[in-house]
């Protein structure tokens, strides 16, 4: 039996991992706290660490894991921008879940768009107070509108399929376009200039950090909608806030936020929100923020648990590490 330290644990994690852990001969020590250099000592005595998108896996954490003779980090997510891969090289193996359910994220993304456009969140709050006025709730037909998809991986392509059902005009930008596809690729500037709605579906890398900045926003149509269910750092939050205040941006649907690490997944309802940008964004009637929950479906959680544990099983038994992250 191999012992695994599981960080950033939520109740739903335990449900799905507990169903499978015996099958893979793994004992899991669940820790509620995020993995950081301050609590990495909790992993001592383990054979592996399971981490998530908001854990901090820097040089100090990696050095501590090496000291504890831990040779593998299994990310239970697709993203790994929070891991110092260069420093990890030759010290610990980093594994990930490259795909779990593109439908979960793409469907949530469309939910954000529909809610923003048709003001469903505002209508819900009104009718609970028996206010049945329609003033201020006017939306627009998605049919015929141009949506710009940034990133055409599995999630991006799944969202494209959903948009096709609404008979939208679809254009896309990707650093690595899919050859011989029926996707209409354009350059980034053209996408910004022509899109009524822009939806982000790309990883966070040095090339995509603050891809949506003040210059990009200035190129966009007045009243553009922006959706982000990928990584918060793709958008310059200050530029987004400025664009919303001056009404260049018509609405924003965000499941991620660039400074979310110490905020998302936690309950701050009895505290003052110290992040002034996030507080202002959430206060706006044309901004819909969810707490990095786009992945949260039963199907996705089952797949995440299965692939994470399979990754560890393959590592421990010397099998091919097909989901290893290369620096």
Contact 93, 73 (CB under 8 A): yes
Radius of gyration over alpha carbons of the chain, in Å?
Answer: 21
Q: Is 298 tagged catalytic?
A: no
Q: How far apart are CA 72 and CA 287, in angstroms?
A: 39
Q: Which of 157, 231, 306, 310 is catalytic?
A: 231
Question: What beta strand segments (E) does the chain contain?
Answer: 2-6, 26-30, 48-51, 72-75, 93-95, 146-150, 169-173, 197-200, 224-228, 249-254, 287-289
Residue 212 — φ and ψ, nearest 5°? -90, 95
Q: Is 231 tagged catalytic?
A: yes
Q: How far apart are CA 85 and CA 92, in angstroms?
A: 9
Q: How far apart are CA 295 and CA 267, in angstroms?
A: 19
Q: Is 129 tagged catalytic?
A: no
What the block records as the tokens of 15 is 């449900």
Q: Which of 258, 260, 306, 310 is catalytic?
A: 260
How far separated are the first and last CA of the chain, in Å rounded? 29
**Neighbour count for residue 84 (Cβ, 10 Å):** 17
Q: Which of 108, 201, 292, 306 is catalytic?
A: 292
Look up tokens 């990133």; give the residue: 151
Residue 56: which residues within 8 A CB-CB, separation 6 or more?
34, 35, 36, 37, 82, 261
CA distances from 288 to 102, 104, 240, 281 (A): 21, 18, 13, 8
Residue 74 — φ and ψ, nearest 5°? -105, 110
Nearest residue to 259 (alpha-carbon basis) of 290, 232, 293: 232
The set of catalytic residues is 231, 260, 292
């Amino acid at each position: 039996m191999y012992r695994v330290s599981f960080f950033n644990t939520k109740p739903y994690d335990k449900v799905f991992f507990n169903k499978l852990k015996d099958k893979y001969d793994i004992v899991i020590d669940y820790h509620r706290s995020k993995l950081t250099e301050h609590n990495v000592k909790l992993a001592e005595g383990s054979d592996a660490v399971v981490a998530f998108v908001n854990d901090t896996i820097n040089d100090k954490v990696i050095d501590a894991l090496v000291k504890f003779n831990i040779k593998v980090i299994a990310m239970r997510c697709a993203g790994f921008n929070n891991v110092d891969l260069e420093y990890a090289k030759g010290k610990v193996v980093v594994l990930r879940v490259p795909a779990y359910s593109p439908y979960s994220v793409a469907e949530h993304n469309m939910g954000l768009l529909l809610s923003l456009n048709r003001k469903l969140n505002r209508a819900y709050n009104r009718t609970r107070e028996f206010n049945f006025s329609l003033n201020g709730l006017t939306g627009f037909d998605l049919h015929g509108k141009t949506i710009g998809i940034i990133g055409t991986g599995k999630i991006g392509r799944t969202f494209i399929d959903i948009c096709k059902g609404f008979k939208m005009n679809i254009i896309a930008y990707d650093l690595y376009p899919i050859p011989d596809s029926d996707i209409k690729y354009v350059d980034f500037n053209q996408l910004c200039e022509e899109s009524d709605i822009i939806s982000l579906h790309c990883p966070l890398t040095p090339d995509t950090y603050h891809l949506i900045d003040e210059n990009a926003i200035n190129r966009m149509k007045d009243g553009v909608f922006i959706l982000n269910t990928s990584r918060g750092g793709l958008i310059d939050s200050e530029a987004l806030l400025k664009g919303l205040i001056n009404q260049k941006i018509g609405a924003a649907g965000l499941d991620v936020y660039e400074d979310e690490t110490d905020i998302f997944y936690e309950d701050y309802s009895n505290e003052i929100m110290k992040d002034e940008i996030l507080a202002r964004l959430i206060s706006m009637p044309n901004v819909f923020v969810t707490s990095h929950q786009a992945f949260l479906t039963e199907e996705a959680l089952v797949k995440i648990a299965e692939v994470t544990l399979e990754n560890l099983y393959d590592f421990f038994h010397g099998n091919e590490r097909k989901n290893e992250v290369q620096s």
